Amino acid sequence: MSIAYITDAQMLKKTRVERCPTLNFWRLSTNTNFSDFAVGDLLFFLSKDREYRKKGEKGIIGFGRCAGFTVASPQHMWRRYKEENGYSNKEEFFSALKRSHKDHLLPERISSIYLQDVLFLQMPIYLSECGMEISPRTESYIYLDKDVPLKILHYAKDRLDFWSSRENASEVIEKEIRRYTLREAAESVGDLPLPANELQILQRRARSYQKQHPDYLFLDPQHTILCSVDRKTEILFPKDRRIDRRFWLGQRALYQEKLDFEPEYRLYDKECEDL
């Protein structure tokens, strides 16, 4: 699931000007338990600034892919992420936190969503263009309708800010489109019909493999199937001698049926130590 988050353009200014591919998207709330947002999902920057509004509607001016969550003190956030927080020095960062706090105080703890592959748009994209309405009173974040992220990505191909984006910006968008298509296929296929003990075996193997190969992301909510779109599109099904190999042949057929293209599939036989 993807979200659109109300964002102060000032927070994004340094990241945009310096073409930074990462951003530690900080929040005053310490709650990281989103009901339907996880690593690998997209966060779209929904600007509240007047220059990006159209008839009162806030516009999307960029996005990034979630790579992790952190809850810590502002001091720790600066030591760990420094300028990735969106400011040139600690004083500017702390001042921004105080301005955002209702009592204009430095909070004891904040949270953040670490974003990778951050890109910006030359022209905003409005959710109404994608068939979704948003209340003008929205002041935090909203979950996007299932079909909206893919529409935004297709619009983004023609609205990229190439001055502030990296040379491979178009390639990043194409990868996100393929990744999102794969995840839609996984949602259609559904959860694995396996007993709990067999499911745990596959989860351990998949997590072990993913730790050694961070370019592979989990495709399904159960964290058993991995996918990569970096060099070529691959879906990896963890293999274990205790689980009938014919089960994966059935899963493979389901994915082929759901996808519009023919990615290369392969089973990996790598022995992974249990966690």
134 and 244: one domain?
no
63 and 142: one domain?
yes
202 and 160: one domain?
no
15 and 138: one domain?
yes
pTM of the model: 0.83
Residue the block writes with tokens 């929040």: 27
Alpha carbons 191 and 206: distance in angstroms, whole number: 15
197 and 89: one domain?
no
Domain edge (last residue) among 167, 200, 218: 167
pLDDT in tens, the chain (275 residues): 899 998 877 788 888 888 889 999 999 988 877 888 888 899 999 988 888 888 889 999 999 999 999 999 999 999 999 999 999 999 999 999 999 888 889 999 999 999 999 999 999 999 999 999 888 777 788 999 988 999 999 999 999 887 767 778 888 898 898 888 888 888 888 888 888 998 998 899 898 888 888 888 888 888 888 888 877 788 888 888 888 777 777 888 888 887 765 555 454 444 433 32
b/e burial code for range 194-218 (CB count within 10 A of at least 16 → b): eeeeebebbbbbbbbbbeeeeebbb
Task: Decide if 73 is inside a domain.
Answer: yes
261 and 130: one domain?
no
146 and 215: one domain?
no
27 and 159: one domain?
yes
Task: Decide if 181 is inside a domain.
Answer: no
222 and 192 in contact (C-beta within 8 Å)?
yes
Helix (H, G, I), strand (E, B) or coil at 27: strand
Distances (CA, A) of 67 to 79, 151, 217: 19, 22, 10
87 and 125: one domain?
yes
Domain that holds residue 72: 3-167
Query: How many domains are there within the chain?
Result: 2
